[in-house]
């Protein structure tokens, strides 16, 4: 088990049409990950390929703080 970073890359997304037991159609997301850093041994992709458990701490912040500051007069 190792703590690591996410590999850099993109998903090539594909959608597979399926039908559930009640005859309702749905789509299953599939595809392949195009790894831009396949030889970096400190990434989740490399560790998983070498039979490790990977732990990737994440933080997500999508707020554009600069725009908030530039339009803050609207909150007055």
> How many separate domains does the chain show?
1
Task: Quote the pTM value.
Answer: 0.64
DSSP string, 6-72: PPPEEEEEEEEEEE-TTS-EEEEEEEEEEES-TT-TTBHHHHHHTT--EE---------HHHHHHTG
The pLDDT profile of the chain, 76 residues, written as one tens digit per residue, is 999 999 999 999 999 999 999 999 999 999 999 999 999 999 999 999 999 999 999 998 889 888 888 888 887 7
User: Which residue in 57, 31, 41, 51 sits closest to 7, CA to CA?
Assistant: 41
Domain carrying residue 31: 2-75
Residue 36 near residue 26, CB atoms below 8 Å: no
User: What CA–CA distance (Å, rounded) separates 70 from 62?
Assistant: 17
């Amino acid at each position: 088990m190792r703590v690591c970073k996410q590999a850099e890359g993109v998903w090539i997304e594909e959608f597979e049409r399926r039908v559930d037991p009640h005859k309702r159609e749905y789509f299953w997301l599939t595809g392949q990950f195009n790894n831009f850093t396949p030889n970096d041994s400190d990434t989740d992709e490399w560790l998983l390929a070498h039979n490790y458990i990977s732990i990737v701490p994440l933080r997500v912040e999508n707020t554009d703080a600069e725009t908030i500051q530039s339009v803050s007069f609207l909150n007055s």
